[in-house]
């Protein structure tokens, strides 16, 4: 049995009297999609922000790829292989899809201040950027302005920008947020296509997406993990149904 790529032990974060992450244990295995679900206010986004280095934990440990993340900044964690996509799309709307991904490659290499001159013309950037766009199904949209892409395509572009950093693990915060039925189905197919190629921590509210793509699911309620298991185990868990899925025994 391989070691977890990400291991969280007794993680805690509070804001005043509100405990957002409550002594949480969690792990992600190599190549696994581990989804985190829970009602609004459960602490999902706080948890992923702690993993990404956007929020400092009060206590507990985060180990990634065998290294203690204590004191590591968000950029340092990114360079170590943690790539995060946000709940709200964050692409450069006035740049083409190809330029967006090229900029991500360039920034990760440490040359972001030259991007106005080089990103759209340097084949060392544009060739791998085009391949990433092909991989995420946006190859034919390379020269389209990001602001002109459909919402679902913008989310795919944001994930392409995360992939441009050569990550070991993706932190995906509600990738289907704001999507209609057809776009959500496309995103589910896309995530399943990436399954096994990347380790993923998936924060998601759409249960169809969670149950169709996740290998394991952890349920958070008030920052506490109340259950972890396969999608089928979580679907049949009485405590989960009562606390989150809204069903009574």
Residue 88 lies in a domain: no
Q: What angle do CA 38, 165, 202 make, to 5 degrees?
A: 10
What's the structural domain count of the chain? 2
Q: Which of 166, 185, 206 is the last residue of a domain?
A: 166
216 plus 162 within the same structural domain: no
189 plus 242 within the same structural domain: yes
Checking if the pLDDT of 185 tops 60, the result is yes
Domain with 230 in it: what CATH number? 3.40.50.300
User: Residue 194 — very low, low, confident or very high, per pLDDT cuts 50/70/90?
Assistant: confident
3-class DSSP state of 201: strand
Residues spanned by the domain of 118:
93-166
116 plus 152 within the same structural domain: yes
200 plus 132 within the same structural domain: no
Q: Average the pLDDT over 174-178 and give the result.
A: 85
185 plus 246 within the same structural domain: yes
Q: Average the pLDDT over 228-234 and give the result.
A: 95
β pairing state of 59-64 and 67-68? antiparallel
Q: Which of 166, 184, 217 is the last residue of a domain?
A: 166
Alpha carbon distance, N-terminus to C-terminus of the chain: 36
Residue 116 lies in a domain: yes
143 plus 202 within the same structural domain: no
- Segments in 90-221 forming alpha helices (H): 97-109, 115-118, 123-135, 151-163, 181-194, 207-213
50 plus 98 within the same structural domain: no
3-class DSSP state of 210: helix
Residue 86 lies in a domain: no
Residue 87 lies in a domain: no
Q: Average the pLDDT over 225-249 and give the result.
A: 82
- Percentages of the chain per state (helix, strand, coil), in multiples of 5: 40, 25, 35
pLDDT tens digits, residue range 40-78? 888 998 999 999 999 999 999 999 999 999 999 998 998
Q: What is the DSSP letter of 108?
A: H
175 plus 73 within the same structural domain: yes
The average confidence (pLDDT) of the chain is 88
149 plus 183 within the same structural domain: no
pLDDT tens digits, residue range 137-159? 899 999 999 999 998 899 889 98
155 plus 182 within the same structural domain: no
Residue 104 lies in a domain: yes
71 plus 179 within the same structural domain: yes
Q: Which of 121, 148, 166 is the last residue of a domain?
A: 166
40 plus 116 within the same structural domain: no
pLDDT tens digits, residue range 85-127? 764 567 889 999 999 999 888 877 765 545 455 556 778 889 9
């Amino acid at each position: 049995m391989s070691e977890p790529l990400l291991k969280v032990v007794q993680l805690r974060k509070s804001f005043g009297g509100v405990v957002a992450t409550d002594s949480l244990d969690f792990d992600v295995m190599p190549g696994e999609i581990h989804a985190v679900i829970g009602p609004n206010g459960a602490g999902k986004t706080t948890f992923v922000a702690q993993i990404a280095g956007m929020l400092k934990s009060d206590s507990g440990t985060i180990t990634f790829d065998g290294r203690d993340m204590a004191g590591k900044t968000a950029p340092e964690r990114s360079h170590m292989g943690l790539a995060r996509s946000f709940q709200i799309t964050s692409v450069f709307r006035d740049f083409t899809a190809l330029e967006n991904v090229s900029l991500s490659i360039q920034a990760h290499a440490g040359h972001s201040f030259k991007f106005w001159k080089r990103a759209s013309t340097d084949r060392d950037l544009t060739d791998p950027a085009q391949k990433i766009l092909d991989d995420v199904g946006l190859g034919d949209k390379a020269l389209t302005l990001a602001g002109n892409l459909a919402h679902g395509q913008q989310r795919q572009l944001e994930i392409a920008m995360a992939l441009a950093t050569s990550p070991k693990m993706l932190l995906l915060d509600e990738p289907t947020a704001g999507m209609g039925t057809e776009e959500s189905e496309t995103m589910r197919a896309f995530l399943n296509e990436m399954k096994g190629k990347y380790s993923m921590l998936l924060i998601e509210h759409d249960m169809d997406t969670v149950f169709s793509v996740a290998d394991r699911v952890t349920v958070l309620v008030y920052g506490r993990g109340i259950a972890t298991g396969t999608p089928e185990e979580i679907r049949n868990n009485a405590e989960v149904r009562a606390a989150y899925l809204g069903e009574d025994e």
